[in-house]
């Protein structure tokens, strides 16, 4: 029987460290449920000591999922470990994941510790975590730049102290596949108690080798892979879960290992994350990009018509990308809408179905064909959007090419519905979107720096929903906002208002 490789998903922790990928607690829980459906073995839910919000999100995820282990990350420090345990303890199968840097450069310049002190800290941290649970993982941060014999000692000490998983991260994405293979093999051959734990790998993508390095490590005997959906993560990101799983499945004869992942949930998982964080899937993204199965050249098309296997190494169906996803139109009933939501993995209450049904009908008036992506965007927009404290009531925008500068008139309401205060203003701007933003800033009384503004079409066609994401910063606080609407200017206004609401909430929480 093929060996099992455990999939440790860190989308909600390392992934969330990706610029612009911040998720609120509800969004994290929704993503955690999807990861559970996908069949990952471990969800790393966050870094509980980082903030109260992180702590609460980890705790909520630990309580929300059943069939998957929930890990919390903590430094190799007693207070961090205690807080981590507090956050994960209610999970059916909690894990404490503690880490400490082991490379010379990190030990000297970041930790100001000698190698012996680092060994002591690892021993103390893992033993302390072990008092809470048997399920303890230790990560040697910057392992790939650490001295190999020191890493042998670190791994032995961590296992002796009770770690059941020892992770060997390529923290700065520096390693190359053949070298990383040799490192894992060296540990397999030289750590005397290596069979008492699982060796894990965690690769960053700075040199574009995260997936290749992870696969090389699997070949050398690593049996846990740490990865994120769409490869999001710190800087250039982490190894992409969908790439790893499909490489392992498609080249089974080479790797001879298996995972528990339901591959037909890969595309739905990527799409859900993309919708939640407002980051479109790049068209040329391996496995799930819009072009991944599109054959443009005549020679390829001819080959595929004669026999798909000429140019197709896996099928769209195998990753859950069905071609018949035009779903609902003007005449569909609420039952069809409910079925579609369920098929997409959303269990909605009756009142939520009614809200979605109305949103689908409204969209059907503007758009000929409604696709899965549209329904998912509407679910996020109409069902799950948190109640904003400031809301858009109305707006009108003037854009032109003559002497009159673009301007916008905006009406917003503030405070609880029913007792809300209405405010209105109009402003000029460099362009129509800028004019809308200026009027919103003026009504709210905050002028943030706009760091990111991106617009993408949710589906094909001129009538596609526009998906807008913004990232703003003000007095050291950053926030992202997202919105989908058939009108790109309105979507931009809603995204900005969403970001300002989130910023307000983040300031309050601090
Ligand atoms: O990249 C890294 O080293 C990490 C560890 C904390 C596992 O994210
Ligand atoms: Zn990392």
Q: Whose CA is nearest to atom 5 of ligand 1?
A: 141
202 C-beta closer than 6 A to ligand 1:
yes
Q: Are residues 239 and 209 in the same domain?
A: yes
Mean pLDDT of 7-12: 98
What local confidence, expressed as pLDDT, does residue 82 receive?
98
Which numbered ligand comes closest to the C-alpha of 73?
1
User: pLDDT higher for 91 or 375?
Assistant: 91
d(CA 11, CA 229): 6
Q: Are residues 190 and 137 in the same domain?
A: yes
Query: Given a cut of 80, is residue 187 above it in pLDDT?
Result: yes
Q: Whose CA is nearest to atom 7 of ligand 1?
A: 139
Which numbered ligand comes closest to the C-alpha of 139?
1
Query: Given a cut of 70, is residue 324 above it in pLDDT?
Result: no
Ligand 1, closest atom to CA 169?
3
The β-bridge relationship of strands 370-371 and 390-398 is unpaired
Q: Does any domain span residue 283?
A: no
d(CA 423, CA 415): 11
Lowest-confidence region among 37-41, 251-255, 258-262, 450-454: 450-454
Q: Does any domain span residue 65?
A: yes
pTM for the whole thing? 0.89
Mutate to test the pocket of ligand 1, among 137, 166, 169, 174 (most ligand atoms within 8 A of CB): 169
Q: Are residues 396 and 379 in the same domain?
A: no
Q: Are residues 367 and 401 in the same domain?
A: no
Say how many Å lie between the CA of residue 406 and the centre of ligand 2.
45
Q: Does any domain span residue 340?
A: yes
Comparing CA positions, the residue from 100, 92, 150, 169 lying closest to residue 129 is 100
Mean pLDDT of 41-64: 97
Say how many Å lie between the CA of residue 447 and the centre of ligand 2.
34
Q: Are residues 378 and 396 in the same domain?
A: no
Q: Does any domain span residue 30?
A: yes
Comparing CA positions, the residue from 35, 28, 34 lying closest to residue 13 is 28
Q: Does any domain span residue 358?
A: yes
What local confidence, expressed as pLDDT, does residue 162 receive?
98
Question: What does the pLDDT look like over 338-357, one tens digit per residue?
Answer: 888 888 878 889 999 999 99
Q: Are residues 119 and 211 in the same domain?
A: yes
Lowest-confidence region among 33-37, 198-202, 370-374, 433-437: 370-374
Lowest-confidence region among 75-89, 110-124, 143-157, 458-472: 458-472
141 C-beta closer than 6 A to ligand 1:
yes
Q: Does any domain span residue 329?
A: no
139 C-beta closer than 6 A to ligand 1:
yes
Q: Are residues 349 and 316 in the same domain?
A: no
Q: Does any domain span residue 284?
A: no
Say how many Å lie between the CA of residue 237 and the centre of ligand 2.
8
Say how many Å lie between the CA of residue 231 and the centre of ligand 1.
14
Looking at beta carbons, which pairs linking 472-479 to residues 24 or more positions away fall under 8 Å? 472/448, 472/496, 472/499, 472/500, 472/503, 473/448, 473/449, 474/446, 474/447, 474/448, 474/449, 474/503, 477/503, 477/506, 477/507, 477/510, 478/22, 478/451, 478/503, 479/22, 479/503, 479/506
Q: Which residues of 276-304 are buried (b: 16+ CB within 10 A; e: fewer)?
A: bbbbbbeeebebbeeebbebeeeeeeebe
Q: Whose CA is nearest to atom 8 of ligand 1?
A: 14
Question: What does the pLDDT look like over 329-341, one tens digit per residue?
Answer: 777 888 888 888 8
Backbone angles phi, psi at 480, to 5 degrees: -115, 155
Q: Are residues 235 and 302 in the same domain?
A: no
Mutate to test the pocket of ligand 1, among 171, 200, 232, 237 (most ligand atoms within 8 A of CB): 171
Q: Are residues 396 and 365 in the same domain?
A: no
Mutate to test the pocket of ligand 1, among 139, 173, 226 (most ligand atoms within 8 A of CB): 139
Residue 196 is part of a domain; what is its CATH number? 3.20.20.70
- Residue 441's pLDDT band, with cuts at 50, 70 and 90, is very high
Mutate to test the pocket of ligand 1, among 49, 73, 110 (most ligand atoms within 8 A of CB): 73
**Domain count of the chain?**
4
Question: What does the pLDDT look like over 195-237, one tens digit per residue?
Answer: 999 999 999 999 999 999 999 999 999 999 999 999 999 999 9
Query: Given a cut of 80, is residue 325 above it in pLDDT?
Result: no
What is the residue range of 7's domain? 3-277
Say how many Å lie between the CA of residue 224 and the centre of ligand 1.
14
Which spans in 49-147 are helix H?
Answer: 52-64, 78-88, 104-105, 115-132
Say how many Å lie between the CA of residue 261 and the centre of ligand 1.
23
Q: Are residues 243 and 110 in the same domain?
A: yes
Say how many Å lie between the CA of residue 484 and the centre of ligand 2.
31
Say how many Å lie between the CA of residue 166 and the centre of ligand 1.
12
Ligand 1, closest atom to CA 139?
7
- Residue 327's pLDDT band, with cuts at 50, 70 and 90, is low
Mean pLDDT of 102-112: 97
Q: Are residues 377 and 475 in the same domain?
A: no
- Output the CA torsion sign for 442, 443, 447, 452: negative
14 C-beta closer than 6 A to ligand 1:
yes
Residue 421 is part of a domain; what is its CATH number? 3.30.160.270
Say how many Å lie between the CA of residue 186 and the centre of ligand 2.
22
Q: Are residues 10 and 115 in the same domain?
A: yes
What local confidence, expressed as pLDDT, does residue 509 receive?
67
What local confidence, expressed as pLDDT, does residue 510 receive?
65
- Residue 488's pLDDT band, with cuts at 50, 70 and 90, is very high
Query: Given a cut of 60, is residue 184 above it in pLDDT?
Result: yes
Ligand 1, closest atom to CA 226?
7
Q: Does any domain span residue 327?
A: no
99 C-beta closer than 6 A to ligand 1:
yes
Ligand 1, closest atom to CA 142?
3
Joined together, the tokens standing for residue 438 give: 């200026």
169 C-beta closer than 6 A to ligand 1:
yes
């Amino acid at each position: 029987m093929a060996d099992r490789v455990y999939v440790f998903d860190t989308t909600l922790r390392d992934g969330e460290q990706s610029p612009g990928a911040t998720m609120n607690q509800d969004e994290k829980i929704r993503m955690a449920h999807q990861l559970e459906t996908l069949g990952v073995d471990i969800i790393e839910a966050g870094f509980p000591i980082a903030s109260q919000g992180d702590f609460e999100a980890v705790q909520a995820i630990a309580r929300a999922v059943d069939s998957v282990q929930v890990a919390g990350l903590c430094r190799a420090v007693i207070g961090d470990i205690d807080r981590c345990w507090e956050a994960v303890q209610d999970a059916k199968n909690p894990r404490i994941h503690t880490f400490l840097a082991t490379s010379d450069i990190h030990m000297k310049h970041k930790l100001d510790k000698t190698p012996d002190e680092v060994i002591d800290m690892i021993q103390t941290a893992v033993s302390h975590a072990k008092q809470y649970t048997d399920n303890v993982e230790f990560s040697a941060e910057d392992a790939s730049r650490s001295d190999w014999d020191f890493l042998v000692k670190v791994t032995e000490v961590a296992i002796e102290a009770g770690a059941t998983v020892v992770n060997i991260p390529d923290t700065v994405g520096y390693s190359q596949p053949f070298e990383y293979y040799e490192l894992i093999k060296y540990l397999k051959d030289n750590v005397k108690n290596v069979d008492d734990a699982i060796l894990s790998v965690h690769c960053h993508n700075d040199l574009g080798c995260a997936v290749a390095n992870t696969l090389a490590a699997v070949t050398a005997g690593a049996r846990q892979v740490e990865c994120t959906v769409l490869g999001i993560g710190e800087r250039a990101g982490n190894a992409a879960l969908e790439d790893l799983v499909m490489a392992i499945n498609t080249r089974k004869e080479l790797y001879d290992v298996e995972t528990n992942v339901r591959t037909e949930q890969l595309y739905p998982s990527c799409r859900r994350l993309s919708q939640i964080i407002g980051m479109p899937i790049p068209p040329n993204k391996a496995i799930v990009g819009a072009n991944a199965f599109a054959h443009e050249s005549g020679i390829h098309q001819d080959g595929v018509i004669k026999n798909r296997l000429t140019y197709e190494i896996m099928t769209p169906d195998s990753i859950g990308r069905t071609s018949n996803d035009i779903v609902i139109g003007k005449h569909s009933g609420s039952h069809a809408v409910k079925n579609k939501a369920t098929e997409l993995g959303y269990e909605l209450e009756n009142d939520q179905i009614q809200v979605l049904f109305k949103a689908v009908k409204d969209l059907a008036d503007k758009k000929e064909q409604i696709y899965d992506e549209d329904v998912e965007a509407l679910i996020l927009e109409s069902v799950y959007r948190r109640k904003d404290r400031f809301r858009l009531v109305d707006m009108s925008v003037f854009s032109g090419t003559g002497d009159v500068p673009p301007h916008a008139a905006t009406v917003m309401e503030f405070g609880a519905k029913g007792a809300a205060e209405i405010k209105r203003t109009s402003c000029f701007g460099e362009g129509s979107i800028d004019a809308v933003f200026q009027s919103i800033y003026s009504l709210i009384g905050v002028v943030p720096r706009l760091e990111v503004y991106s617009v993408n079409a949710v589906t094909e066609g001129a009538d596609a929903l526009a998906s807008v994401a913004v990232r703003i910063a003000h007095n050291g606080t950053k926030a992202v906002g997202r919105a989908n609407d058939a009108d790109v200017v309105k979507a931009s206004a809603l995204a900005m208002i969403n970001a300002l609401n989130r910023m307000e909430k983040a300031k309050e929480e601090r």
